[in-house]
Structure 1
């Protein structure tokens, strides 16, 4: 389907969503929408109270989170209009999906890639525990060795310095470094690859595989990543660096391939009890952290912008999609040359509700980009989560981006090459549908 017709489909579906409400619910459509928004607001408020209180208040808040949406559905059903709401929501979802598809070609293209010759001495490090044992499940070590790679499978019973293993491999003549493991292990080896300007290869054998997802790799079958060894192309991507303390040492730093988190999440992960009982630890610590009764008070300087008193900060190696209100989806590009910065500051139930309803337009969430970011606090040391690894670093913490320093080797054919999902813009969709129609009509007349 052409962009013109996709844009027209979006407009028709959006209009149909409203028509269904008005025709079948009449003036009651206004009541339906009001009840729906009220239920959503009560659910958000209940969620905030549940996270910021303990005891019987938390119990009542949990009941509200369940009762509010259930009550809305019961009211719709009692009025005999539940099907109307469901059909209208379905049409609206179709409208937004079609609209974003029509706008997709206006987004920036995928990262440029170049053909490369096959590596002569690839060296791969594999963590047998990552992803619940994907290395063994997919026979990654055996397959890689059959393709000519030297493979080191880490000993699960003792700690090994993967960065040192990578350095020794480079000294021994390795011309490609690869990792089958989690994002933290990937970051350590990627730093060595960037330092020596040799290609780095990712095998999606971790649990979340965020970096692999943004590279377009197959996360369901990590063995397909091994095609990089025989039919690969190369991407130039950015790396994030952390420098702790003042002044920042520009000659060294902690690498992050995904993001560095500060504040609420980092405080929770730092707790010794977190690994033993994650859910209980989160529920016990969140009330004090969200209401600022404990934990460091953060101050963020990103370029010319300053944000004080934030509860959580996420600094990412390239920004996440603008269409993702939470900012935790995917990065369309890893070569933009800018850090993504998300700061969350929510003080009450009303602000939590606004954040849920308005996403990035809510007052509680600040999203920006910058080449350098400084996170300071009213404490000499703060917990930091770097690609999922818990660290305790002296303040201030400087984050910077090194553009294009990492050469990433990926398969030529990848199932998840990001094309970008632009935020919905109804004015652009309407202009696209009508303008292209007029242009086509003019050409036909000529």
Structure 2
């Protein structure tokens, strides 16, 4: 069945190889019988505007070609609509694709996933008018994200590991005030994340076990511990084994308000802004091709 596909691209993705990959993906999708239009904004806002117009015009599928930042832009357009979301990963982390089993190092394989059109309806998170698909980092993890974004080298997962080692020596526990489904709680934490999926930061499974289709958000709290103990446990976040550590806590909620002094939150690797922020889970907000 022929489908109308809009391909939202980022010319800087894939370390400058996006144009070549874009052309190959377009050829692959058209060979599968689909109509393809390429959308390439000059900046983030123009990309979102182009994507929203395509959705308003009734496009069947919006495909994000790039990293989790490009995915974040696409999500702003498709959330709560009947337009399906496809992903062709080309970024540094590609955690959304990782969580949903979409090929991360094979763009044409990911294009084939889009072409086959097997849909899975998942939840999205919303804070104000902003949507996100993966995880909101609101502590040490956000500081690592900011540091990683400023690094030109290395590429891939190692960037986040080096950023972690750079930030940790000067980090201390943050006093948080949380409202968990309306129940207030105060807690000091090294790290606090609000997760829809089970991976962020280039494969860090800090929210291991989070499900994107359970109608809930996983609030992950890492309680204060020594830096030496943190470094000892940190390698376990690649496998999810850290969830057995006594400093780890998970609370599943439909909505959460997170407040703390001098903390900037990130989601899908993109800057959201300063706390406090209220995040709610919107169940089944988008259908993803997987």
TM-score (norm 1): 0.53
Are the aligned partners of 1:194 and 1:405 in contact in 2 as well (CA < 8 Å)? yes
Alignment deviations for residues 267-320 of structure 1 (CA, whole Å, 9 cap, x no partner): 344469933577887656433323x5xxx5333333457351112111111557
> Aligned partners of 1:407, 1:284: CA distance in 2, in Å?
38
Aligned pairs, number = 271
Q: Identify which range, 214-223 or 347-356, moves more after superposition.
A: 347-356
Confirm or deny that 1:200 pairs with 2:89: no
Residue pairs, 1:413-424, within 5 angstroms? none
Q: Which residue of 2 aligns with 1:154?
A: 40
The residue that corresponds to 2:276 in the other structure is 396
Give runs of aligned pairs for residues 35-54 of structure 1, distance below 5 A: none
Alignment of 1:19-418 (within 5 A): 118=1, 120-132=3-15, 133=17, 136-137=20-21, 139-146=24-31, 147-152=33-38, 154=40, 158-160=42-44, 161-228=46-113, 230-243=115-128, 252=129, 254-270=130-146, 274-275=150-151, 285-290=167-172, 292=173, 297-303=175-181, 304=183, 306-318=185-197, 327=206, 333-348=211-226, 352=230, 359-379=242-262, 382-393=263-274, 395-410=275-290
The alpha-carbon deviation at position 261 of structure 1 amounts to 0.2
1:124–1:150 contact (8 Å) kept in structure 2: yes
Contact 2:9–2:70 (CA under 8 A) maintained in structure 1 = no
Where does structure 2 lack aligned partners over 5 or more consecutive residues? 154-158
Q: CA deviation at 1:258?
A: 0.7
The 5 A counterparts of 1:423-434 are none
Query: Counting helix residues as a fraction of each chain, which structure ranks higher?
Result: 1
What CA distance in whole angstroms lies between the structure 2 residues aligned with 1:207 and 1:365? 27
1-side partners of 2:204 and 2:80: how far apart? 35
In 2, distance between residues paired with 1:239 and 1:196? Answer: 12
Structure with higher Rg: it is 1
Is the contact made by 1:351 and 1:363 (CA closer than 8 Å) also made in structure 2? no
Q: Distance in 2 between matches of 1:236 and 1:281?
A: 34
2:156 corresponds to:
none
State the distance in 1 between where 2:149 and 2:63 align. Answer: 33
Pick closer, same or farther for the CA change 1:270–1:233 going to 2, 3 Å. closer
Instruction: Tell me how far 1:397 sits from its aligned partner.
Output: 0.9
Does the Cα contact within 8 Å between 2:139 and 2:191 map onto a contact in 1? yes
* Unaligned stretches of 5+ residues in structure 1: 1-117, 244-251, 411-446
For 1:270 and 1:218, locate their aligned partners in 2 and report how far apart those are by CA, in whole Å.
26
The alignment partner of 1:343 has SS state of strand
Tell me if the contact between 2:21 and 2:107 (Cα under 8 Å) persists in the aligned partners: no
**Which secondary structure does the structure 2 equivalent of 1:131 belong to?**
helix
Q: CA–CA distance in 2 between the matches of 1:280 and 1:120?
A: 43
Contact 1:201 1:409 in 2 (8 A): yes
Bigger fraction of residues in strand: 2
